[in-house]
Amino acid sequence: MLLGQLNFFFPIFSVQRMSTIYQSSSLTAKDAVRLPTSVNSLGEYLSTISDQIRENGGNKIAAYALSSLEQYVPLFLMETVRNIAVGDGLPHGFKISLHGVEALDKCCSVLYRDLKSATGFENSFWDEAVAADAFDRAASYVALMEFDMDELMSHWRNNRSEFTDDDYRIMFAMSGPNRKGDIQKYAALKERM
């Protein structure tokens, strides 16, 4: 029973730490790329909790408790991007900067590195291929925020199955650092197919 609870709580604690990424001032910074503090906090948390569980319960318990985080964390990053694109919970007039998009991209690589470090021990369930694929997918979704409308349209034409219709609809509706949102362009593209 305790193992199941551990496996359930770590994704929740990770979400708590990641839930403030979209509120970070680093996403609107115009002067430099800065990592949101909650990302550093999550990396420290994962490292500390991994060490504590291995010390007190052994590698097998830690492996089980931290299993599947290589899928959950990138999924949380993608959900953060969706929240930003839709404007959920953001102040009126919020607009992500180009440095903010780069900060989100950096979050993908930093969290991958931190998670790999925290779960890269003997008997770990860390799956390199799954982790690389999940984090690459999250980084690709972040990159859509940076595209101008022509680049976004071209990407959709060449990679329609990479993301869901809803994900693309969100991106076409979003005004980003290099584009003004226009959902009608997405509708026109879909009609031509």
**Are residues 101 and 178 both part of a single domain?**
no
**Are residues 101 and 189 both part of a single domain?**
no
Read off the pLDDT band of 14 (50, 70, 90).
low
Length of the chain: 193
**Are residues 161 and 113 both part of a single domain?**
no
**Are residues 68 and 111 both part of a single domain?**
yes
**Are residues 156 and 121 both part of a single domain?**
no
**Residue 141 domain-assigned?**
no
Within 8 A by CB and 6+ apart from 193, the residues are 160
- Domain termination residue (choose one: 94, 127, 160): 127
**Residue 97 domain-assigned?**
yes
**Are residues 86 and 177 both part of a single domain?**
no
Token digits of residue 12: 């929740």
**Are residues 91 and 154 both part of a single domain?**
no
Phi-psi category of 124—alpha, beta or left, where left has phi over 0 and alpha has psi -120 to 50? beta
**Residue 119 domain-assigned?**
yes
**Are residues 27 and 87 both part of a single domain?**
yes
Q: Are 158 and 190 in contact (CB under 8 A)?
A: no
Provide the domain count of the chain.
Answer: 2
**Residue 120 domain-assigned?**
yes
**Are residues 32 and 93 both part of a single domain?**
yes
Read off the pLDDT band of 4 (50, 70, 90).
very low
Phi-psi category of 175—alpha, beta or left, where left has phi over 0 and alpha has psi -120 to 50? beta
Q: Which residue has the tokens 């504590």?
A: 52
**Are residues 83 and 171 both part of a single domain?**
no
**Residue 132 domain-assigned?**
no
**Residue 139 domain-assigned?**
no
Range in 21-25, 30-34, 75-79, 157-161 with the lowest mean pLDDT = 21-25
**Are residues 9 and 95 both part of a single domain?**
yes
**Residue 140 domain-assigned?**
no
**Residue 137 domain-assigned?**
no
- Please write the tens of the pLDDT for every residue from 64-73: 888 888 888 8
**Owning domain of residue 193:** 147-193
* pTM of the entire predicted model: 0.87
**Are residues 76 and 166 both part of a single domain?**
no
DSSP 129-182: HHHHHHHHHHHHHHHHTT--HHHHHHHHHH-TTTS-HHHHHHHHH--BTTB---
- Please write the tens of the pLDDT for every residue from 115-150: 999 988 888 888 889 999 999 999 999 999 999 999
H-assigned helices in the chain: 2-18, 37-57, 59-65, 69-86, 98-119, 128-144, 149-158, 165-173, 183-192
Is the model more confident about 20 or about 74?
Answer: 74
